[in-house]
Amino acid sequence: MGEWAIVILPRGISQQRIDRARKIAWRVALYLLLAAGAALFLMPVVWLLLISLKSGAEARAWPPTLFPKQLMWQNYANLFRGFALGTGWGCGLPRWLLNTAIIGVIAEAGGLLANSLVAFSFARLRWRLREPLFILTLATMFLPGQVTMVPTYLLFSQAFHWNNTWFPQLVPAMFATASAVFLLRQYMLGIPVEIDESARLDGCGDLALYWRVILPMCKPALGAVAIFLFSAIWNDMFTPLLYIRKCELWNVAMGVGVGRSLNTAFVAAIPPILLFVIFQKRYIQGIVVSGVKG
Amino acid sequence: MKSLQQVSFPADFPTGATYDPARGRRHRARIREIKGLLLSAPFWVGFLLLGFLPMVASLYLSLCHYSVLTAPIFRGLGNYIDMWSDPGMLRATRNTLVYAVLSIPIGLILGLALAILLNQKVKLLTIWRTLFYLPAVLPATSAAVLWRWMLNKDYGILNAVLVTFGLPRINWLSDERWLIAAYVFFGLWGIGAGMIVNLAGLQSIPTDLYDAAEVDGAGRVQKLRAVTLPMMSPVIFYNLIVSISTVLQSFAFFFALTQTMGANVTYTETGVVYMVYLYRVAFELFRMGYASSMAWTLFFAILGLTLLLWHTAKSWVFHEAEWVSGR
């Protein structure tokens, strides 16, 4: 390409200007490539968003129209209509949102507490079984989920009779998981030991040190863990599928899977997207450190 | 202040049996141990109840015939032998393998290529990264609903494109070959996750390596071959291992795409993948023993592949040890 540029450019042009032209050409090609890729990725989504604003007949019409003749915002408003009338608490998006919110809040509270306590005992206390237990924690990352699936179901469903309850979603969330513990422990190790020492001189016991000193300093890592816990609850279709027959107890993911409504599917996609957009930096650190997708 | 050793006790000092400083130390050590175990209980109790015990139970069940209603009947390796003549299992395995073999390599290459493009001091990186990562954050069931629309025979966008180019419509959801092709497209749609890990890896390559290559007169392609790829090989390896295990275990999207959920479930065989079939065996046919043996087979397949790759990694992964300990 360099040769070719020299031939067509007027004589006396400096090598520097050729280099600059090549650089600009490369940048233009780069942005064109990225834009084409992004369009390919997002075109289907945009097209479907437009469909979600069409009337039922127009959405299924052939040949398909690109823009709706009339924007049917009521497609989305209708999802919440039962809510406005006070009758929507049976089955439907408002109820599923409420269910997911309740499950999510409990799971977040319990999960954050559990994971940070374990991380604290691994990072800030000195005890002999600490190292072996930490290695065991890491080893559970390789614990095959599909292998524990059947006995866990038998335990929850047949032994505990937790069918049509939220316990199968809530109880496992109350225990620490390897990636969250790892992320929090790494963060806690970065806090200087002098802080512990001065806190202990001020009369802090272990729990006070954890609650008043270490935990407030771990907010960024706790944020990343909170995002993972939320995604796990929000995206979980498998647990309701196994245990919950009553549609008024479903979470949003399950409701979307059964109802297959485009509008509900888009509403269900908003919170994860917002979380990613807002907390992008923390989110990515979480993915990179723990290797877990949100 | 006098230290403890300098304190001299009078001869008749009532010290109990004997003064033993080691006893106090042992006591404190025991307290520390109990505290540690109590605080870490949310891990090890969960591990015992929801990890270790279910694993042992699953191993035992995999050697049994168990349909929940009657007690498990031990039958040795029978389940593991039956697999080889179970058409549903063979079909699910074949579909999953075809999907994996097609989507993993293409996904790895495109994920790396995209990350390299985004690493060229691109303006508004945050926005580009968000756009490409967006499909990966969608909940699986939402993605499945979107894809059912895209794949629809009569009014889906894919067929709309085909018809525009004068090609015949494809019945994506009921023609298994095309359905698996659609799976591959879906897999590529989600390369954002791999891209993010790659991007983080690229950003941690020391710039002086590129400077040195430039001094030696390396162009773009040479820099890619001599610096980027070797430095990225641990990340590529990591992505490979992760994608093998996630692709072979993928469930939610494929289930929501191909099966009807809710009250009236009718099993759709077309495009069934391993975990969807496992779900059917366990929770629709209630063959818990056979399902457990399928789960262990998948586990050993993933473990075996991982170990095999780990073994070959020595020849192509650069400074693997440094990466592992550096994390």
Which of chain A's residues have a Cβ under 8 Å away from the Cβ of B249?
145-146
- Report, as an integer, the average pLDDT of A259-274: 94
Query: Which domains occur in chain B, in start order?
Result: 4-61 (no CATH), 78-325 (1.10.3720.10)
Q: Report the distance separating Cα B120 and Cα B113, nearest Å.
A: 11
Residue type, B115: A
Q: Report the distance separating Cα B130 and Cα A157, nearest Å.
A: 40
Kindly state whether residue A4 falls inside one of the protein's structural domains. no
Q: Which one of B116, B141, B235, B286 would you mutate to disrupt binding with A, by most A Cβ within 10 Å of its Cβ?
A: B141
Verify that A110 and A205 share a domain, yes or no: yes
Verify that A37 and A134 share a domain, yes or no: no
Range of the domain at A234: 91-292
Verify that A181 and A287 share a domain, yes or no: yes
Report residue B292 as tokens. 């457990």
Report residue A249 as tokens. 């107890």
pLDDT attached to residue A88: 53
Verify that A46 and A168 share a domain, yes or no: no
Kindly state whether residue A34 falls inside one of the protein's structural domains. yes
Verify that A108 and A232 share a domain, yes or no: yes
Interface of A with B in 70-99 (CB under 8 A): none
How confident is the model over A118-177, as pLDDT tens digits?
999 999 999 999 999 999 999 998 888 899 999 999 999 999 999 999 999 999 999 999
Q: Which one of B33, B118, B145, B300 would you mutate to disrupt binding with A, by most A Cβ within 10 Å of its Cβ?
A: B145
Average pLDDT, chain B: 89
Question: Cβ distance B189 to B135 under 8 Å?
Answer: yes
Cβ atoms < 10 Å from Cβ of A25: 12
CA distance to partner chain A, nearest, from residue B14 (Å): 31
pLDDT attached to residue A51: 92
Which of chain A's residues have a Cβ under 8 Å away from the Cβ of B149?
48, 51, 262
Closest CA to B274 of B257, B242, B297: B297
CA distance to partner chain B, nearest, from residue A10 (Å): 26
3-state secondary structure chain A: CHHHHHHHCCCCCCHHHHHHHHHHHHHHHHHHHHHHHHHHHHHHHHHHHHHCCCCHHHHCCCCCCCCCCCCCCHHHHHHHHHHHHCCCCCCCHHHHHHHHHHHHHHHHHHHHHHHHHHHHHHHCCCCCCHHHHHHHHHHHHHCCHHHHHHHHHHHHHHHCCCCCCCHHHHHHHCCCCHHHHHHHHHHHHCCCHHHHHHHHHCCCCHHHHHHHHHHHHCHHHHHHHHHHHHHHHHHCCHHHHHHCCCHHHCCHHHHHHHHCCHHHHHHHHHHHHHHHHHCHHHHHHHHHHHCCCC
CA distance to partner chain A, nearest, from residue B212 (Å): 20
Chain A residue with Cα closest to B145: A260
Chain A residue with Cα closest to B45: A175
Q: Does B236 touch chain A (CB under 8 A)?
A: no
pLDDT attached to residue B2: 46
Residues above pLDDT 70, as percent of chain A: 91
CA distance to partner chain B, nearest, from residue A1 (Å): 13
Which of chain A's residues have a Cβ under 8 Å away from the Cβ of B42?
113-115, 117-118, 174-176
Chain B residue with Cα closest to A130: B36
Kindly state whether residue A66 falls inside one of the protein's structural domains. no
Verify that A126 and A30 share a domain, yes or no: no
Q: Report the distance separating Cα A191 and Cα A198, nearest Å.
A: 13
Kindly state whether residue A68 falls inside one of the protein's structural domains. no
- Mean pLDDT, consecutive 10-residue stretches, chain B (327 aa), reads 55 60 85 94 95 96 94 95 95 97 96 93 89 92 95 90 92 94 95 90 89 88 90 92 93 94 80 95 95 96 93 77 43
Q: Where does the pLDDT of residue A2 fall: very low under 50, low under 70, confident under 90, or very high at 90 and above?
A: very low
Q: Complex ipTM, two decimals?
A: 0.88
Closest CA to B260 of A184, A155, A48, A259: A259
pLDDT attached to residue A23: 87
Size of interface A-B (CB pairs under 8 A): 246
Verify that A135 and A236 share a domain, yes or no: yes
Q: Which one of B112, B129, B146, B248 would you mutate to disrupt binding with A, by most A Cβ within 10 Å of its Cβ?
A: B146
Number of folded domains that form chain A: 2
Given an 8 Å threshold on Cβ–Cβ distance, is A256 in contact with B141?
yes
Verify that A151 and A27 share a domain, yes or no: no
A9 pLDDT higher than 50: yes
Q: Using CB atoms within 10 Å of the CB of residue B277, give its burial: 0 to 12 exposed, 13 to 18 middle, 19+ buried.
A: buried
Closest CA to B103 of B250, B258, B256, B278: B250
Chain B residue with Cα closest to A28: B122
Q: Report the distance separating Cα B269 and Cα B254, nearest Å.
A: 12
pLDDT attached to residue B93: 97
Q: Does B224 touch chain A (CB under 8 A)?
A: no
Which of chain B's residues have a Cβ under 8 Å away from the Cβ of A37?
114, 132
Chain A residue with Cα closest to B55: A148
Q: Which H or E element spans position B109?
A: helix B87-118
Which of chain B's residues have a Cβ under 8 Å away from the Cβ of A136?
44, 47
Kindly state whether residue A2 falls inside one of the protein's structural domains. no
How confident is the model over A202-261, as pLDDT tens digits?
999 999 999 999 999 999 899 989 998 999 999 999 999 999 999 889 999 999 999 899
Verify that A156 and A28 share a domain, yes or no: no
DSSP letter assigned to residue B167? P
CA distance to partner chain B, nearest, from residue A255 (Å): 9
Q: Does B140 touch chain A (CB under 8 A)?
A: yes
How confident is the model over B191-229, as pLDDT tens digits?
998 899 999 899 888 888 899 998 988 888 899 998 999
A5 pLDDT higher than 70: no
Contacts of B79 (CB under 8 A, 6+ apart): B62, B63, B64, B65, B289, B290, B292, B293
Place of tokens 């390897």: A178
Backbone angles phi and psi of B268, in degrees to 5: -105, 120
pLDDT attached to residue A101: 96
Q: Does B166 touch chain A (CB under 8 A)?
A: no
CATH of the domain at A167: 1.10.3720.10
pLDDT attached to residue B217: 87
A98 pLDDT higher than 90: yes
pLDDT attached to residue A46: 92
Backbone angles phi and psi of B73, in degrees to 5: -110, 120
CA distance to partner chain A, nearest, from residue B131 (Å): 6
Q: Does B81 touch chain A (CB under 8 A)?
A: no
Verify that A47 and A115 share a domain, yes or no: no
A225 HSE (CA, 13 A, CB side): 30
Verify that A42 and A111 share a domain, yes or no: no
Say what the pTM is.
Answer: 0.88
Q: How many residues does chain A have?
A: 294
B151 SS3 class: helix
Q: Report the distance separating Cα B257 and Cα B271, nearest Å.
A: 10
CA distance to partner chain B, nearest, from residue A276 (Å): 8
Interface of A with B in 158-187 (CB under 8 A): 158, 172, 174-176, 181
Kindly state whether residue A81 falls inside one of the protein's structural domains. no
B171 SS3 class: coil
Kindly state whether residue A75 falls inside one of the protein's structural domains. no
Kindly state whether residue A46 falls inside one of the protein's structural domains. yes
Verify that A223 and A161 share a domain, yes or no: yes
Out of B150, B263, B327, closest to residue A44 by CB: B150
Given an 8 Å threshold on Cβ–Cβ distance, is B54 in contact with A34?
no
Q: Which residue has the higher pLDDT, A12 or A179?
A: A179
Cβ atoms < 10 Å from Cβ of B55: 18
Report CA A188 to chain centroid distance, whole Å.
23
Cα four-point dihedral sign A247, A264, B145, A168: negative
Supply the Cα-derived Rg of chain A in whole angstroms.
Answer: 27
pLDDT attached to residue A60: 84
Q: Which residue has the higher pLDDT, A4 or A69?
A: A69
pLDDT attached to residue B320: 43
Given an 8 Å threshold on Cβ–Cβ distance, is B55 in contact with A126?
no
